[in-house]
Amino acid sequence: MLVSTAEFALKSQPVRQQLVRLLKRHIRFNLKRIGQDRYRITSTGGFIVADVPGDTASVAGILARILGVSHADACERVAPVLDEIVECSARVAVREIKQGETFAVRARSFEPSRLRGKEIEIKAGSEILSRLPIGVRVNLTSPDHTVRVFHGAKDAYVSGLRYDGPGGLPVGSQGKLLGLATDSLLSPLSFYLMMKRGAMVWPVIPNFRPLLGETEGEAVIESLRALTPFVPRKEYPAYMIELDEDASRVLDAVDEPLQRILSTRLALWAITCIPRNRGTLGLVTADLLGHAGMETLRDLRLVDEIAKFPVYRPLLTLDEDSVSRQLAELGLQRLTGKQTARQISPSLSDASVMNLRELERRVHAEQIAQRIGANATRISIQTLGS
């Protein structure tokens, strides 16, 4: 398989080398996860080359899901000799192209080579047409199939299958974040978007009724499993924080419009005391204006004013169509009208905000929340092979 990493080319050489090393480690982990213990991983001409025995097509499809991979091609390796390349290209085409479909041959060199790409394309295309039934045509603009030839000084690779990947950067290359998991669809999506930018996100599930309701906790845990293919670790842990009696009394003392904001503030205080907090660079939330009680920038400000680390909101400016498309990429169901319906609540008055802060000061809400965080329960989202 040839694994391409388009975004890495934009980085300086030291950074690019570091990202490639990390991506190779993730490729090894994923090969071991599917039971492949005989493999060889090298680099050539801007590609990562993964040699494995058996069905390379299915393995390429798995490697293409790794964050940082632009695409993965399932290839056959041949000598960089024109006749061998043409023969292999025809063999691959006969296997992949069906009656009535169109194709194109694309050749590119990944290092200095005596071969010319245009000559490969013409001769391979002619040979393919001679072997396939009448009705198969060349289409250079939008073919049904593309036979790709990558050639260098010592090796050439012929591919009839390409799997597009998510792109981005390898998970963990930009540090680690905590993720406030309060929604069974939006929270995994917000974590995924930050993971695509290289952050490792560790979920924290605040099992508070104003945030999760009575049964949403299990749904959140289940939906977080959609992230496990992107986590290059044997175990993907999360932390569950729950209200104690003191915290429940504090929440009961405020009106319903304020309960979600107060719950979020308690969660942010609590997060600072869970073990996984050490070394984290910030917090990811699934805040989306007009959804689940977050109606205005002022609501967000009431949360941010007590945060002791940066808060990242990758969904904040997305519209419903964009969110639905991203959910489909992650493999979660699309949002329904009910799920995206705006839940408009009355604007908070200055008096309500002052009363909220006064109540928190009077009952020592920060200390209560820190006690909740210290008693957080560690749970496993999924383990290797499960």
> What's the pLDDT score for residue 341?
40
* % of the chain residues with pLDDT over 70: 92
Compute how many other C-beta atoms are within 10 angstroms of the C-beta atom of residue 165: 22
Please indicate, yes or no, whether residues 287 and 205 belong to a single structural domain of this protein.
yes
Give Cα separations from 26 to 21, 171, 201, 273 (angstroms).
9, 9, 16, 30
Cα(296)–Cα(298) distance, rounded to whole angstroms? 5
Please indicate, yes or no, whether residues 262 and 118 belong to a single structural domain of this protein.
no
> What's the pLDDT score for residue 344?
42
Range of the domain at 127: 2-164
For 111-133, the pLDDT digits (tens) are 888 899 999 999 999 999 999 98
Cα(72)–Cα(150) distance, rounded to whole angstroms? 13
> What's the pLDDT score for residue 263?
85
The pTM score is 0.87
Q: What is the mean pLDDT of residues 95-117?
A: 92
Q: Is the pLDDT of residue 215 over 60?
A: no
Please indicate, yes or no, whether residues 98 and 231 belong to a single structural domain of this protein.
no
Q: Is the pLDDT of residue 163 over 90?
A: yes
Q: What angle do CA 28, 31, 34 make, to 5 degrees?
A: 150
In a domain, 54, yes or no: yes
Q: What is the mean pLDDT of residues 55-84?
A: 93
Cα(75)–Cα(60) distance, rounded to whole angstroms? 9
- Phi-psi category of residue 266: left, alpha or beta, with phi > 0 → left and psi -120 to 50 → alpha: alpha
Q: How confident is the model at residue 293 (pLDDT cuts 50, 70, 90)?
A: low
**Would you state the structure tokens that stand for residue 366, as one six-digit string?**
């920060």
Q: Is the pLDDT of residue 278 over 80?
A: no
CATH number of 285's domain: 3.40.50.620
In a domain, 169, yes or no: no
Cα(156)–Cα(53) distance, rounded to whole angstroms? 18
Please indicate, yes or no, whether residues 151 and 180 belong to a single structural domain of this protein.
no
Q: Is the pLDDT of residue 347 over 60?
A: no
> What's the pLDDT score for residue 227?
92
Please indicate, yes or no, whether residues 184 and 154 belong to a single structural domain of this protein.
no
> What's the pLDDT score for residue 384?
58
> What's the pLDDT score for residue 340?
43
Please indicate, yes or no, whether residues 58 and 139 belong to a single structural domain of this protein.
yes
Axis crossing angle, helix 350-363 with helix 256-271, rounded to the nearest 10: 50
Cα(128)–Cα(361) distance, rounded to whole angstroms? 77
- Is the C-alpha dihedral spanning 168, 172, 173, 179 positive or negative? positive
* % of the chain residues with pLDDT over 90: 45
Q: Which of 164, 195, 218 is the last residue of a domain?
A: 164
**Bridge partner list, 204:** 180, 239
More confident residue, 384 or 95: 95
Decide: residue 275, CB within 10 A, 0-12 exposed, 13-18 middle, 19+ buried: exposed
For 303-343, the pLDDT digits (tens) are 788 888 899 999 988 888 888 888 888 888 754 444 444 34
In a domain, 13, yes or no: yes
> What's the pLDDT score for residue 147?
96
Please indicate, yes or no, whether residues 66 and 126 belong to a single structural domain of this protein.
yes
Q: Is the pLDDT of residue 137 over 50?
A: yes
Q: What is the mean pLDDT of residues 281-294?
A: 77
> What's the pLDDT score for residue 338?
41
In a domain, 285, yes or no: yes
In a domain, 171, yes or no: no
Cα(78)–Cα(327) distance, rounded to whole angstroms? 40
Please indicate, yes or no, whether residues 270 and 379 belong to a single structural domain of this protein.
yes
Summary mean pLDDT of the chain = 86
Q: How confident is the model at residue 350 (pLDDT cuts 50, 70, 90)?
A: low
**Would you state the structure tokens that stand for residue 250, as one six-digit string?**
């504090």
> What's the pLDDT score for residue 156?
94
Please indicate, yes or no, whether residues 111 and 136 belong to a single structural domain of this protein.
yes
